[in-house]
A and B are shown apart, each in its own frame.
Chain A
Amino acid sequence: QKEVEQDPGPLSVPEGAIVSLNCTYSNSAFQYFMWYRQYSRKGPELLMYTYSSGNKEDGRFTAQVDKSSKYISLFIRDSQPSDSATYLCAMSLSYSGAGSYQLTFGKGTKLSVIP
């Protein structure tokens, strides 16, 4: 079993739809959870990060973490064509101490928002 599982898609939705992106993971020691957006041939950019379980909202984006189920989600409301990109989930054990900086990534889900 891979440490982080993410459906690669592709996912195609009409403009204005609500998008749900998900990842599951196997290592219960992960504490920090992030979502990155990567446009074609560009480096990933951080969208959201959360610590432990709970929800976090930022504009049209909501990140959810359910540690009991080892499941994280990213919701995009009122999706726009400019949201078309690959979305990568990532997680790490902690943020202090050598070796804890490493991120484990999902494969990424390619999203297309059709006008």
Chain B
Amino acid sequence: GAVVSQHPSWVICKSGTSVKIECRSLDFQATTMFWYRQFPKQSLMLMATSNEGSKATYEQGVEKDKFLINHASLTLSTLTVTSAHPEDSSFYICSAPTILPFYGYTFGSGTRLTVV
């Protein structure tokens, strides 16, 4: 139980295009979803917090118009990187808090984005 399915696992896109990353909670309802970015050899950096049915909360320095987050249902949250540039190349991971089967946070498997 408590699985977060994240797609795609990797994507290569051209500079200037947009990319959508999906995270689905498969067997539980995720009222909150965290979106992280991880650069090589760096820790996970929280980008934004999405809550079902309301606007996402962005961390300082994260452009909300560039990283569009939608949490339209209790099982789906999406991150769209708009007008992607090479500096947006990174590993993006979503995470949802869970209570069962364990008290913690379930992570998606991550999306490696490469912008060329």
**Which residues does A use to contact B, with CB under 8 Å?**
6, 8, 32, 34, 36, 41-46, 49, 88, 90, 95, 98, 101-103, 105-108
Contact = CB atoms under 8 A, between A and B. Distances in A.
Contacts of A102: 34, 46, 49
Please tell me the size bucket of the interface on B: 20 to 34
Nearest to B44: A105
A6 B74 CA distance: 34
A19 B91 CA distance: 28
B102 A49 contact: yes
Given A43-B6, A43-B110, A101-B34, A106 B43 contact: yes
Interface of B: 4, 6, 32, 34, 41-44, 46, 49, 51, 91, 93, 95, 97, 102-110, 112
A103 B51 CA distance: 16
23 contacts: A8-B41, A34-B105, A41-B110, A43-B4, A43-B93, A43-B95, A43-B107, A43-B108, A43-B109, A44-B44, A45-B107, A49-B102, A88-B43, A95-B97, A95-B103, A101-B32, A101-B49, A102-B34, A102-B49, A103-B46, A103-B95, A103-B105, A105-B44
B103 A41 contact: no
A34 B80 CA distance: 29
Q: Interface majority SS on A: helix, strand, loop or mixed?
A: loop
Q: Interface majority SS on B: helix, strand, loop or mixed?
A: strand
A36 to B, nearest CB: 8
Contacts of B49: 101-102
Contacts of B104: 34, 46, 49
Contacts of A90: 105
Contacts of B91: 41
B103 A49 contact: yes
